[in-house]
Structure 1
Amino acid sequence: MANYPVNVPDRGDVRVELNEMFDLAAKRAAAMAAAFTLFSTEYSRSKGKAPNDLRAMLSYDEPDILALILERGVARGEIDAGRLTPPIAHLLPDLFRHHVLMTWSAPDADLRTAWIDTIFLPLVGAEKACF
């Protein structure tokens, strides 16, 4: 995780920031999928924990970049905070993780952009924002 940090500064546009977050996450996806698969079986067997517990342990000191991006988007009026229910707020990383774990590869840039533009932003976008 430390070799592939996912830090996204304020770019003034939630779409740009989400794409940058995914680009950075994609760089570490294949290595993380392999490591997660190897460690999760032994960790689950020896500790009796679920894969989500291992993920939390591996990323415990990482800042929640998505939450920060969404907060900035709300502050700029690009995102309607009322639409950020927990399932929707976690949708993008859930899609990303599912793809990585099912394919052992990062989703390509076109797919990531489609998730942002055709699924996520229409769900959370403020009425005045134009995506």
Structure 2
Amino acid sequence: MDSTTEAPRTRRRGAALQAAILEAAWEQLVDRGYGEFTLEAVAARAGTSRSVLYRRWSSRVELLRAAVEHQGTIPVSDPPDTGSLRGDAIALLRAMSEHRVELMVLFQTRLGGFFDESGDSPADLRRLMVGRRAGSMHDAVARGVERGEVEPGRVTDRIVNLPGDLVRHQMAMTLQPVPVADIEEIVDECFLPLLAPRA
């Protein structure tokens, strides 16, 4: 019997079952690309039936979006609180570089068919993934304001997002993690001077 049509039943229910399916979906996407990303293949990998997936997602586009969003709920590291904005920013950017370069490679090399089929852009998927972590650098900057490292009037969303944008751009260009020296340069030369209190 074809394992993609009749997968073994399990006792998983509710949130546990959904998490298992979404993790299996992500693994299928990373391993096989969008060309072999089907609800049948994901069901087989998750050890459940196709009908379970079809009750939750009507298409592979919906399932992929859900898998990307689920990955965004998995923290890449504990929120840093190093005692300085510089330390926090470097820790956040290093975690991003080390754990999200796989996503950058995936977006650029394995998802062409998804973008054609769905009409989504890489930016749309990124927004799904970063949703719950979007405040991490904002939290670090807020602590910097409390410590007197940051002039509150200089804080804007564009400035707070700048170091992450620069790291993502370098990853997109190289498809490699960003070296620590480059991250430190971004923080020291491009980020902190924009927020430091004026003399």
**TM bin (shorter chain):** 0.7 to 0.9
Cα drift, residue 76 of structure 1 = 1.3
Confirm whether residue 44 of structure 1 aligns to residue 118 of structure 2. Answer: no
Contact 2:163 2:190 in 1 (8 A): no
TM-score by length of 1: 0.84
Amino acid at match of 2:165: D
CA deviation after TM superposition for structure 1 residue 106, in Å: 1.7
5+ residue gaps, structure 2, are 1-70
TM-score (norm 2): 0.57
Aligned match of 1:5 = 76
Map Cα deviations across residues 71-125 of structure 1 (whole Å, 9 max, x no partner): 1111111111211223222110110110011100121111110111111111111
Higher relative contact order (CA 8 A, sep 6+): 1
In structure 2, what residue type is equivalent to 1:60? G
Aligned to 2:25: none
| Aligned residue number for residue 111 of structure 1 | 182
Identify the match of residue 64 of structure 1 among 129, 135, 155.
Answer: 135
SS in structure 2 opposite 1:90?
Answer: helix
Q: How far apart in 2 are the matches of 1:60 and 1:39? A: 22
Q: How many residues align?
A: 128
Unaligned runs of 5+ in 1: none
Q: What is the Cα-based RMSD across aligned positions, in Å?
A: 2.1
Instruction: Evaluate the alpha carbon distance shift between residue 125 and residue 101 of structure 1 in structure 2; reply closer, same or farther with a 3 A threshold.
Output: same
**Cα distance, 1:19 vs structure 2:** 1.1
Larger Rg over CA atoms? 2
Distance 1:120 1:59 in 2: 20
Alignment partners' CA distance in 2, 1:116 and 1:86: 16
